[in-house]
Chains A and B, each alone.
Chain A
Amino acid sequence: MTSERGSDKLQHLKKAEISESQLDRLAGFANEEGIELVDWLVRGIPAVDWLEGSFHVRPNAVGDLINRLVAEGAVRQIVVFPYGIPAVDLVEVRFASGR
């Protein structure tokens, strides 16, 4: 008999839309100064199918953050919402990835 695990033949169990390393990198943005992670929602067990989150970031760091989110191929939607009247002093960057 073959020694391959039965579970290895079940691709739907192991295939993920978002890899663990991608999850680590996206969550890791919050360790940087000026970026605060305010929301994080993961769907899919055990393989992650979908992720949604929000960062709060200073206005002058928004562009860099968006570039980095785009560089993560798994991110499909980015929404930017400025806070502060009359001057914007905080930007919320919402992102979603996966199906």
Chain B
Amino acid sequence: MLQVHPLGRCNLSCLHCYSSSGPAVTEELETGLLLGAIQDAAQEGYNVLAVSGGEPLLYRELSQLIECARNLGMTATVTTNGTLLNARRLKSLRGLDLLAISLDGTPDSHDRMRGRGSFLQMARRLEQVRAAGLPFGFIFTLTMQNLSELEWIARFALDQGAALLQVHPLELAGRGRQMSEHRPDEEELQWAVVEAARLQTVVGPSVVIHVDALPAGGLRDIGDCEYQSLPFAFLLHPLIIESDGTVVPAEHGFDRRWKLGSLYDRSLAVSIQQFRAERLGAFRKQIVAGALTDAAAAGVRFVNWHEALTRRAREVAVSAPNA
């Protein structure tokens, strides 16, 4: 997956925002740079474009990004807070494979995280989304405290005609860094997997409930692969383009020591080529192997893999600051 943040501006200022987006943020990427990056990513095997932000509906050329991805045979998704959806914007999303709408719990919980009235503002738009025939789903940010609300969300998703409910653990990045006591630990993640499986039988097949956690057994394949011959998309995903043009692996805000480059300095194709030639081996040895060891030591069945990589990168930076 290529995850693109074309701008940092958002009409909301959510407490947990990993990209520290808000109304006063002015960073915005030139469309030409992004279109080139999407083409380069497709060449390297990335087959999903996920557009986030900030609030992507505020990016004027959003439809161009979607069209570019679709023409390259990529699946195109947009993640939105849903409060700005209207008929005009829905038209610009034509061809989109999935609209992912953020939903952080019951209406009260959602408003606590995103601002008073934000749940109602979003919920009122859903009828238009359905009328537009756009496939949509919800993304729920899992914290240490809110798993008990997943059932309410699953039933809401079913009632509203959503196709997907994605459960994504809180990322300790951006404003999320202030919320460390809310980070779901490994035990809570296991419970989330169990509860999601239970709720899948409750809602049936029309809503797919997916938890962003990797079975520990699957980690073997990450460590054992003959990586030199694999397409880059298999080795480093997701690839993130942040709103200042920086390209990083795994998660928004990933340690800058491991950035692939900036779209303002060189094309994504060149950045990938150079990273592959000069740094991929070290990344796998120091970060991937280290994260695998940490996961094995924890002895858990499901792992927040991208967080494990991010944490490992921070630990390596602390222990070898001049490396």
Residues of A within 8 A of B (CB): 1-7, 9-10, 12-13, 45-46
Contacts and interface: CB of A to CB of B under 8 A. Distances in A.
Contacts of A12: 198
A7 B148 contact: yes
Nearest to A12: B198
B145 A4 contact: yes
A30 B80 CA distance: 59
Interface stretch (B34-42, B114-122, B188-196, B266-274): B188-196
Contacts of B184: 6
Interface residues of B, number: 19
B145 A5 contact: yes
A10 B195 contact: yes
B145 A13 contact: no
A10 B145 contact: no
Contacts of B143: 6
7 contacts: A1-B182, A3-B145, A6-B148, A7-B148, A10-B147, A10-B148, A13-B198
Interface of B: 142-150, 181-182, 184, 187-188, 191-192, 194-195, 198
Contacts, number: 44
Given A2-B145, A13-B194, A46-B194, A7 B181 contact: no
Given A1-B145, A2-B145, A7 B182 contact: no
A9 B105 CA distance: 15
Contacts of B144: 3, 5-6
A10 B143 CA distance: 15
A44 to B, nearest CB: 12
Given A2-B145, A5-B144, A10 B181 contact: no
Q: Do most interface residues of chain B lie in helix, strand or loop, or is the interface mixed? A: helix
Contacts of B149: 6
B182 to A, nearest CB: 7
Contacts of A5: 144-145, 147, 188, 191
A52 B106 CA distance: 40
A3 B194 contact: no
A9 B182 contact: no
B145, B184, B188, B198 — which one has the most chain A CB atoms within 10 A of its CB?
B145
B191 A13 contact: yes
B14 to A, nearest CB: 14
A72 B25 CA distance: 65
A6 B194 contact: no
Contacts of B194: 13, 45-46
A13 B150 CA distance: 13
Contacts of B150: 6
B191 A10 contact: yes
Given A13-B191, A46-B194, A6 B146 contact: yes
Contacts of B195: 7, 10, 13
A5 B146 CA distance: 8
Nearest to A7: B191
A7 to B, nearest CB: 4
Contact of B147 (A2, A6, A46): A6
A12 B202 CA distance: 14
Nearest to B143: A6
A3, A7, A9, A45 — which one has the most chain B CB atoms within 10 A of its CB?
A7
Contacts of A2: 145
A48 B149 CA distance: 24
B84 to A, nearest CB: 27
Contacts of B191: 5-7, 10, 13
Contacts of B187: 7
Given A5-B145, A13-B194, 20 more contacts: A3-B144, A3-B145, A4-B145, A5-B144, A5-B188, A5-B191, A6-B142, A6-B143, A6-B144, A6-B146, A6-B147, A6-B150, A6-B191, A7-B188, A7-B191, A9-B148, A10-B147, A10-B148, A12-B198, A13-B195
